[in-house]
């Protein structure tokens, strides 16, 4: 059997975690320099800012590019034509869902306010809204939203689901659920007290949550974004937050990184984390497991998992 060659970034921890495997040669390559060999079966680009280096694959005999994120918006602009690319579905869903729940709970129960009180040694006993009994709208119903839904199961909430196309789907518990289409967005927003965004960034979802969509949300509603920053119209969101009408818990922003002095930093009712949804201790072992499965698929002559760009020959 021909030896498989797999390249991984030098500082990712992947090389050490993958160990040794008979018939597989692992090489380190950050794509910032020339390819270490003419043929590479699986190329794993760096996790952060990997897209801009993909042009280095031009002329390299690469069979598969294994992306380390679920989202792959913008990759087409750099990926040489014809190269198959697989995303990292199965790697980030759990961590991103955890953060979505953490942001929701923190915002609902006033944790940012209590942290500020702690810093000032100030005791200010007050009441905040529960998560229990809230009407929650999941916008997007892929792997991340299904993982969020599973983690909401014990919080006694009422869940509505919405995605690009209306359909009947199956949740992680195996139950058949109704998913509304984007045409119902404003009607669903009007009934939601907590809105959690977990859609991919596409031409259809760019500014999906615009001024009109935000206006449809009830007073005091919470917007949680673990999708991509441009899914939300930032200026419109700043206006709603500044007026004190809505609240937001954001792991992603537009622009990103959020510049020093941007008005979003100082908006009342805004809780911001720094695009860390999938970047936790769970990432490395799950990425290793995915790479090992891709190796097994290639050695068995099978198509790889999660192919999102290009065609497998």
Cite the active site residues: 228, 256, 275
Sign of the Cα torsion 166, 167, 170, 176 reads positive
Q: Where are the beta strands (DSSP E) in the chain?
A: 4-8, 24-28, 39-43, 61-66, 85-86, 135-139, 158-162, 167-170, 176-180, 194-197, 222-225, 247-250, 270-272, 307-309
Take residue 210 and report the two structure tokens written for it. 């615009």
Instruction: Report the distance separating Cα 242 and Cα 29, nearest Å.
Output: 46
Check if the beta carbon of residue 201 is closer than 8 Å to that of residue 231: yes
From 276, 271, 278, 231, select the one nearest 254 (Cα to Cα). 231
Check if the beta carbon of residue 305 is closer than 8 Å to that of residue 282: no
Question: Pairing relation of β-strands 85-86 and 307-309?
Answer: antiparallel
| Cis before 243 (ω within 30) | no
Check if the beta carbon of residue 213 is closer than 8 Å to that of residue 185: yes
Question: Pairing relation of β-strands 176-180 and 167-170?
Answer: antiparallel
From 211, 205, 262, select the one nearest 240 (Cα to Cα). 211
Please list the residues that pair with 159 across neighbouring strands.
136
């Amino acid at each position: 059997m021909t030896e498989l060659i797999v390249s991984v970034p030098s500082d990712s921890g992947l090389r050490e975690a993958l160990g040794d495997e008979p018939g597989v040669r692992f090489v380190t390559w950050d794509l910032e320099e020339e390819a270490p060999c003419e043929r590479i079966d699986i190329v794993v680009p760096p996790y952060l800012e990997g897209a801009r280096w993909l042009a280095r694959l031009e002329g390299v005999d690469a069979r598969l590019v294994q992306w380390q994120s679920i989202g792959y918006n913008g990759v087409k602009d750099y990926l040489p034509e014809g190269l198959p690319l697989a995303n990292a579905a199965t790697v980030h869903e759990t961590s991103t869902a955890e953060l979505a729940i953490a942001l929701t709970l923190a915002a609902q129960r006033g944790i940012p306010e209590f942290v500020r009180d702690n810093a000032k040694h100030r005791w200010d006993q007050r009441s905040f809204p529960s998560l229990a009994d809230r009407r929650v709208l999941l916008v997007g119903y892929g792997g991340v939203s299904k993982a969020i839904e599973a983690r909401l199961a014990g919080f006694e909430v009422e869940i509505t689901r919405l995605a690009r196309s209306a359909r009947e789907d199956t949740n992680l518990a195996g139950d058949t659920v109704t998913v509304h289409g984007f045409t119902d967005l404003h009607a669903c927003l009007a009934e939601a007290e907590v809105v959690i965004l977990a859609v991919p960034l596409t031409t259809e979802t760019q500014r999906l949550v615009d001024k009109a969509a935000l206006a449809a949300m009830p007073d005091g509603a919470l917007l949680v974004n673990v999708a991509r920053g441009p899914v939300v119209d930032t200026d419109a969101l700043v206006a709603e937050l500044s007026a004190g009408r809505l609240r937001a818990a954001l792991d992603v922003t537009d622009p990103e990184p959020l510049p020093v002095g941007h008005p979003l930093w100082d908006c009342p009712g805004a809780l911001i984390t720094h695009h860390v949804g999938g970047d936790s201790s769970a990432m490395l072992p799950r990425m290793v497991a995915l790479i090992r499965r891709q190796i097994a698929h290639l050695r068995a002559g099978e198509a790889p998992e999660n192919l999102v760009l290009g065609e497998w020959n």
